[in-house]
Amino acid sequence: MYRHTVNRAKDRPDRRVLLHRSYYLNDVPRLMPRCRLFGHKPVIDGYDSKYGREEDRRVRWVACDRCGVRPDPQGRLDPDQWQLGQHYPGPFNGRHFPEQAALQLAKRGIVPPPVKQPGPWPANPTGGLGAELVIGRSHSIGADFKVGNPGSENVLAGHIALGPLGALYVHTERFGQILQRRLNPTGYQSRETGFTIYHGRLSWQLWAKCDEHSATDPKWMRGSVPIDPRHYLYGPRKNRKVSETEKVPAVVRMPEGDTYDVLVHLEQWETRRTRGRARTYWLAQWDCKDGIPVRNHDWKGDETYSCSWGIEGVTPDTERWPYIVAAEAAEQCSRDRARYNYRAPSEDAA
């Protein structure tokens, strides 16, 4: 068993956040008292899919119906003979293909056949626990509980967010599989239940799919309602773009000496409710066709910003606004380069 921590504040600097750190505890022994006292409860596990190769669409292996532990090897049984959830009486005599023999066959381009029979149960199953703590500003108020699917890395997960006070996120790896197998035993969609208060709205999810939103989902499964009193007193708030300037060429000059041609323009926006006065403001937008590199990547190449984000506080009343926008873009990209420890390519490499 070992633990380690990660300081997230280095990648996401924010003066309003006092602490942002992740904690991990790995190779934690799993208790599994019933399985240790009475033995495992082997059942047929696997999946039926309509995607992929024909021979991989229906797969069967063995797992414990209580703790979710799989034999080693887990086996690959005949899907025409075994049904999902069916009791598996044995045998458990599967063995891994010898490593040296597999290497010799791989040199000849031969793939060893899969081990069909499950092997013995692991003697000391382990799992992992993780948490992420934010003390200071978070973006919302709410709580959430997630039950993973059979293929999830995180079996259970949850969080509680307290707005300006901070937030706590927790998850388990292989712990809680008995609950996952009872509540969400099939398919590859994790389920979540919780609520969030954000920007004057209360949103909820009741056993909703985490990565899918379908029109056929029942209305009670997810939704939101406004809870800001101003919504009912003055009407809903709406934003619309009133006008915009023409795009003007400018140059972004980075501290490392590299320069980039960009197009900048200003947009005037109006926000107002049905009753009450409107508020107008200007947003500056910039766009670089080829992008500005801010992060190195070994095999994908340097990651770039190829489009813009808004910059408030710039108006067309100032004649030099294109230079101000270009300078703001250079400053933002410089922050990102410092955040990701960007290294400019050397002249020899270029």
DSSP calls for 190-221: -EEEEEEEETTEEEEEEEEESS---TTS-GGG
Q: What pLDDT score does 348 carry?
A: 45
Q: Assign 46 to helix, strand or coil.
A: strand
Please state whether beta strands 42-48 and 58-64 pair in parallel, antiparallel, or not at all (unpaired). Answer: antiparallel
Task: Determine the Cα–Cα distance for residues 1 and 9; give it in Å rounded to an integer.
Answer: 26
Task: Determine the Cα–Cα distance for residues 226 and 203; give it in Å rounded to an integer.
Answer: 9
Task: Determine the Cα–Cα distance for residues 90 and 97; give it in Å rounded to an integer.
Answer: 20
Q: Assign 158 to helix, strand or coil.
A: strand
The pTM assigned to this predicted structure is 0.77
Is the alpha carbon torsion for 104, 105, 107, 111 positive or negative? negative
Looking from the CA of 86 toward its CB, the CA atoms found within 13 Å total: 14
Flag residues of the chain having pLDDT under 70: 11-12, 298-303, 305-309, 346-350
Task: Determine the Cα–Cα distance for residues 248 and 328; give it in Å rounded to an integer.
Answer: 15
Are 119 and 77 within 8 A, CB to CB? no
Residues of the chain by 3-state class (helix, strand, coil), percent to 5: 15, 40, 45
Q: What pLDDT score does 349 carry?
A: 47
Closest CA to 242 of 287, 286, 279: 279
Q: What pLDDT score does 303 carry?
A: 66
Task: Determine the Cα–Cα distance for residues 229 and 246; give it in Å rounded to an integer.
Answer: 39
> How many other CB atoms are found less than 10 A from the CB of residue 95?
11
Q: What pLDDT score does 265 carry?
A: 93
Buried b (16+ CB within 10 A) or exposed e, 327-339: ebbbebbeeebee
Burial class (CB in 10 A: 0-12, 13-18, 19+), 153: exposed
Task: Determine the Cα–Cα distance for residues 189 and 208; give it in Å rounded to an integer.
Answer: 9
